[in-house]
Amino acid sequence: MWLIIMFFYMILIFNFSCLIFLNFKNHFLLMLISLEFLVLSLFLLMNLYLNYLNFDFIILIYYLGLIVCESVLGLSMIVMIMRIYGNDYLNSFMLMKW
């Protein structure tokens, strides 16, 4: 019974993080934070599922490595954007200038 409750909580967190990602599309930092919550909820769902099926957790170690690489790339992008443009508003600059 607790497995079903935890599964629904993780799905709820996933849906809320998707809504936050779509709502805060003006700030780059808030988008990165919502993506981290999204990835964290997927990690917890995978952990719950693999624990229920008694599988190996080595795939979670690889997934955590990918999460760390994604967050480092996002933080380096935000540092670069802050140095060039001075803020993290997405509407103050265009990614593809003609």
Considering the four listed CATH numbers 2.60.40.2550, 1.10.287.3510, 1.20.272.10, 2.40.30.10, the one that applies to the domain covering 2-92 is 1.10.287.3510
- SS3 string of the chain? CHHHHHHHHHHHHHHHHHHHHHHCCCEHHHHHHHHHHHHHHHHHHHHHHHHHHCCCCHHHHHHHHHHHHHHHHHHHHHHHHHHHHCCCEHHHCCCCCC
Greatest Cα pair distance in the chain: 57
Return per-residue pLDDT of the chain as tens, 98 residues.
777 888 888 888 888 888 888 887 777 888 888 888 889 888 988 888 888 888 888 999 999 999 999 999 999 988 888 888 777 776 666 655 55
Say how far apart CA 84 and CA 47 lie, in whole Å. 39
